[in-house]
């Protein structure tokens, strides 16, 4: 590759905003930048992206082009940020729709367990300028500060000391010196704010405050650190975070601790480092799409189906086969199952780019066989293959001839449908249009 340099007539940016399935030229350069839809990357950054891609294939890296696959999120390396947004629009300029796409991605994440964004309030955030890394941390800090003000976590921790009066219980093993019988070694529990949960929050917020540039975010993080002033600032490892136990009293902090773990396990930053050299947060869009749809349906099933109905995600509905000993093997786990004990609807969400020139619209036989197995095992009244609208050209209806155990054959409708994700989901009218269209998709016969 030639050592090309960005054209100075174009805007040069330290943040590269890429969209799923788009193909972007890249050139080797002495510095990292993004200009005129071209990536200029140092050899170090290319090697880093290639190494990360071997662990989690999120890019198709060719000789001269890079194509994002179905992962969204952010990779930051040596001050340069590559952020990948989902393909939510069928037509039009993605560059012009960037704010809507970024906002919708955050809205989807707020309905899943991937990132602890419990409330999407985009007030004061300029999604056209801020990269998604900064937005993640801003919303994390904003929600955490509110939670901490309402419920600052204290817990009993075991301590020991030599006292003149008994506190807790005497440490008999240490109380053996006749000359020091007036000094009593004690083991006791102290109701303290300086515990592992709070040390994890303080350490992570301190590191975050050194990685972001937005002043409002830095101020939020410093407010959290000030609230935790009595807590020791000390490095916390991922292994230590795994030892944190959650109960009814502290479960409200679980999503924030999860984000701390994500940040620390995907970052090279330490107390001694002057800046973050590397950070990544990549989420498979197929899983995010499934969780988003499942959670939205579960929040108000009566709206979608006319009555309260159980909605299960990734529920095992049977086994595909038996081995020679008679043991059933190969779990059948549809993405979403509606109804119990009588299963009304089986939904499998799909997030893949289809070949619209294919006579079957690019829908694979494997997906149809899978839906046939679900219909056979569950006796569902209908099945749905659900795609984002941007990835499916047109809806289609098929019939699955399912044979019941008594030998009768039943025709089960298989509906191939798409849901539009390009509404502005953070505006009331856009969210209501999305819910209305989803209701029409999942329950057309209501």
- Domain edges within the chain: 156-192, 300-442
pLDDT at 39: 93
Residue of 133 and 288 predicted with greater confidence: 288
pLDDT grade, residue 7 (50/70/90)? very low
- Range name among 43-47, 275-279, 314-318, 334-338 with the lowest pLDDT average: 275-279
| Count of beta carbons in the 10 Å neighbourhood of residue 274 | 8
Angle (nearest 5°) at CA 238 between 233 and 241: 70
Q: What is the average pLDDT value for the chain, to the nearest integer? A: 81
**Rounded-to-integer distance, Cα 294 and Cα 362, Å:** 24
pLDDT of residue 188: 61
| 274 pLDDT above the threshold of 60 | no
At 117 the pLDDT is 64
3-state DSSP helix/strand/coil % of the chain, to nearest 5: 35, 25, 40
Calculate what percentage of the chain has a pLDDT beyond 70. Answer: 78
The pTM assigned to this predicted structure is 0.77
Residues 98, 57: contact at Cβ < 8 Å?
A: no
**Confidence band (pLDDT; 50, 70, 90) for 132?**
confident
φ/ψ of 92, rounded to 5, equals 90, 170
CA angle 45, 46, 51 (to 5 degrees): 95
How many C-beta atoms surround the C-beta of residue 299 within 10 A? 12
pLDDT, position 279: 78
Which helix (H) or strand (E) segment holds residue 19: the answer is: strand 15-19
List of residues 6+ apart from 99 with CB closer than 8 A: 127, 128
Locus of tokens 């989902």? 86
The mean per-residue pLDDT over the stretch 213-219 comes to: 89
Q: What is the pLDDT of residue 168?
A: 53
> Is residue 221 a contact partner of residue 205, using CB atoms and an 8 Å limit?
yes
pLDDT at 75 over 90: no
Rounded-to-integer distance, Cα 44 and Cα 183, Å:
61
What is the average pLDDT across 265-281?
Answer: 63
CA distance 263 to 276: 11
Q: In angstroms, rounded to a whole number, what is the distance separating the alpha carbons of residues 49 and 1?
A: 17
What pLDDT score was predicted for residue 11? 47
Give, as one character, the DSSP assignment of residue 292: H
Cis preceding linkage at 341, omega within 30: yes
Q: How far is CA 57 from CA 71, 87, 271, in A?
A: 9, 18, 31
Name the 3-class secondary structure at 47.
Answer: helix
Residue 225 has pLDDT above 90, yes or no: yes
């Amino acid at each position: 590759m030639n050592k090309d340099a960005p054209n100075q007539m174009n805007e040069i940016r330290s943040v590269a905003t890429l969209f799923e399935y788009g193909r972007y030229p890249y050139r080797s350069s002495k510095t990292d930048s993004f200009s005129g839809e071209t990536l200029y990357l140092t050899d170090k950054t290319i090697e880093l992206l290639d190494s990360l891609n071997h662990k989690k294939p999120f890019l198709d890296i060719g000789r001269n082009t890079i194509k994002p696959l179905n992962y969204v999120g952010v990779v930051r390396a040596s001050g340069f940020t590559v952020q990948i947004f989902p393909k939510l629009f069928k037509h039009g300029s993605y560059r012009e729709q960037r704010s809507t796409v970024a906002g919708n991605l955050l809205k989807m994440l707020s309905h899943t367990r991937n990132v602890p964004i419990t409330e999407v309030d985009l007030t004061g955030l300029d999604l056209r300028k801020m990269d998604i890394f900064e937005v993640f941390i801003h919303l994390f800090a904003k929600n955490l500060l509110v939670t901490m003000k309402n419920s600052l976590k204290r817990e009993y921790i075991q301590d020991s000391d030599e006292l003149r009066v008994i506190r807790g219980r005497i440490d008999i093993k240490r109380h053996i010196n006749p000359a020091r019988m007036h000094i009593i070694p004690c083991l006791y529990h102290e109701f303290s704010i300086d515990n592992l949960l709070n040390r994890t929050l303080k350490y992570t917020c301190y590191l975050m405050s050194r990685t972001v540039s937005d002043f409002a975010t830095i101020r939020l993080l410093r407010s959290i650190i000030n609230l935790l002033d009595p807590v020791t600032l000390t490095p916390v490892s991922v292994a230590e975070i795994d030892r944190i136990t959650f109960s009814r009293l502290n479960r409200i902090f679980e999503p924030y601790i999860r984000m701390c773990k994500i940040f620390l396990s995907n970052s090279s930053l330490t107390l001694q480092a002057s800046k973050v050299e590397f950070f990544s947060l990549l989420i498979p869009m197929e899983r995010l799409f499934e969780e988003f749809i499942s959670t939205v349906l579960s929040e108000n099933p009566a709206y979608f189906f006319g009555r309260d109905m159980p909605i299960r995600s990734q529920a095992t509905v049977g086994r595909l086969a038996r081995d020679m000993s008679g043991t059933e093997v190969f779990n059948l786990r549809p993405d979403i199952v509606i109804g119990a004990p009588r299963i009304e609807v089986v939904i499998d969400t799909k997030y893949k780019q289809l070949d619209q020139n294919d006579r079957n619209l690019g829908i694979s036989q494997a997906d149809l066989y899978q839906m046939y197995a679900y219909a056979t095992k569950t006796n569902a009244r209908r099945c749905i293959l659900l795609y984002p609208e941007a990835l499916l050209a047109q809806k289609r209806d098929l019939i699955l001839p399912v044979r019941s155990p008594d030998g009768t054959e039943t025709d089960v409708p298989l509906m191939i449908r798409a849901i539009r994700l390009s509404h502005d989901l953070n505006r009331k009218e856009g969210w209501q249009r999305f819910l209305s269209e989803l209701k029409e998709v999942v329950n057309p016969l209501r």
